[in-house]
Amino acid sequence: MINADGTGQQRLSPTPGFDVNPSWSPDGTKILYVRVLEIPQPGKPPMTDIRAMNADGTGSHAILANTVFSVEPRWSVNDQLVFMSLMNGSGLDIYVMNVDGTALRRLTSSPNNGDPMWSPDGTRITFGSDREGGNKLNIFVMNADGSQQQRLTHFDVPYEAGDTHWSSDGKKIVFEYDVNGMKQSDPTAHAEVWTMNPDGSGASSTGIQCSNVGCAPRWQPR
């Protein structure tokens, strides 16, 4: 953890290893993160734990233990977690569960769906998907229960869109746009920060180029 001006850096997870994907609870008292349990190897997704801890690093505990590549957990204002996982074995899908690890449920079933992000009111989830085929990668939205899944962006190869984040008032979505990122797997691909309305209209570039694919633009809370 670090102050917004770069001061006060503090290590929160003292266990040696791979702790990634930190995400705050809505009230700022807890942090979700993922512990990678083994060294990642080509063609073999690692086993992971989804964990929570207090904002000072104490009280760390597993919410979902020892599943295949369960990553990017996000906490909703309604005390549900959304994350993406390979636990089903048939592709990358999006899941929800309660913050205590109960009521686990899969929301998607298409080939690959990832980078889920809650709307500020916890009623909708944006995510990236290649369900259209032909190596297309676009942004979709669905209700919190997985219903009414619909596409928001309409890019065709080599242009892609993914990794969304909602503004605090819910009126805008920021996302990563890239060119020939091969489903955002090429770290050298050209990438930009774009915004759009929640219904997908008004998509436009901010003119700010990301360092590369995986820039993960985020809106400052208000």
Average pLDDT, integer, range 144-152: 97
Residue extents of the structural domains in the chain = 1-98, 107-222
Per-residue pLDDT of 30-58, as tens digits, reads 999 999 999 888 889 999 999 999 999 99
- The closest alpha carbon to 198, from 149, 114, 141, belongs to 141
d(Cα 67, Cα 11) in Å, to the nearest integer? 25
- The closest alpha carbon to 126, from 81, 192, 63, 173, belongs to 173
Averaged pLDDT score across all residues of the chain: 95
What strands lie across the sheet with 113-118, from one edge to the other? Answer: 113-118, 124-129, 138-143, 150-151
- In this structure, are residues 13 and 53 in contact, taking their beta carbons and an 8 Å threshold? yes
For residue 172, give every residue at least 6 positions away whose Cβ sits within 8 Å of its Cβ, in sequence order, or none.
166, 195, 196, 197, 198, 219
d(Cα 44, Cα 80) in Å, to the nearest integer? 29
Angle CA(61)–CA(115)–CA(99) in degrees, nearest 5? 30
pTM for this one?
A: 0.95
Per-residue pLDDT of 79-129, as tens digits, reads 999 999 999 988 999 999 999 999 999 999 978 999 999 999 999 999 999
Per-residue pLDDT of 159-190, as tens digits, reads 999 999 999 999 999 999 999 999 999 999 99
* Tally of CB atoms within 10 A around 116: 24
* CATH number at 107-222: 2.120.10.30
- Three-state DSSP at 92 gives strand
